[in-house]
Amino acid sequence: MEKEKWKSGMMVEDKQILDFISEIDEAIDKVKETFKDYRPLLNGDRWISDREAEDFLKVSRHTLFTYRQKGLMPYVLLCGKMLYRERDLEELLQRNYVPALK
């Protein structure tokens, strides 16, 4: 008989139960991965952090600071955390878009 194993905080002997618990663990991991970047909408807008804004615009934290100081992009300071409306960042890119010459 197979040795008892600890799984999910209990002693388990039955292989079917172990397999079932493993499937549940895999499903939970998939759900976590799927929703890791999920941000719920607030009044129809998605708000993102400094780090996400850096990634979105492909700029450094210092550049974000400069943009804020120059008034180039709106932001919210909430409990020491900078938040940016994703739509505002998209508009910033559109305003500064330079089309290619023919």
pLDDT in tens, 8-53: 566 656 777 788 888 999 999 988 887 777 666 667 788 889 999 9
Cβ neighbours for 89, distance < 8 A, ≥ 6 positions apart:
48, 53, 56, 57, 73
88 and 59 part of one domain: yes
Q: Are 4 and 13 in contact (CB under 8 A)?
A: yes
30 and 64 part of one domain: no
90 lies in a domain? yes
Percentage of residues of the chain with pLDDT beyond 90: 46
Side-chain-side CA neighbours of 6 within 13 Å: the count stands at 1
Q: Which alpha helices (H) appear in 11-60, and where do they start and end?
A: 15-34, 50-57
41 lies in a domain? no
Q: What are phi and psi of 7, to 5 degrees?
A: -150, 130
Query: Could you list the residue range(s) of the whole structural domain that residue 22 is in?
Result: 5-34
Record the tokens describing residue 8, joined without a space: 């999910």
The predicted model gives 82-88 an average pLDDT of: 92
Which pLDDT score is estimated for 46?
87
101 lies in a domain? no
12 lies in a domain? yes
82 and 52 part of one domain: yes
Type of residue at 10: M
Domain count, the chain: 2
DSSP code for 73: S
Residue 7 has pLDDT above 60, yes or no: no
The predicted model gives 65-94 an average pLDDT of: 92
Residue 1 has pLDDT above 50, yes or no: no
40 lies in a domain? no
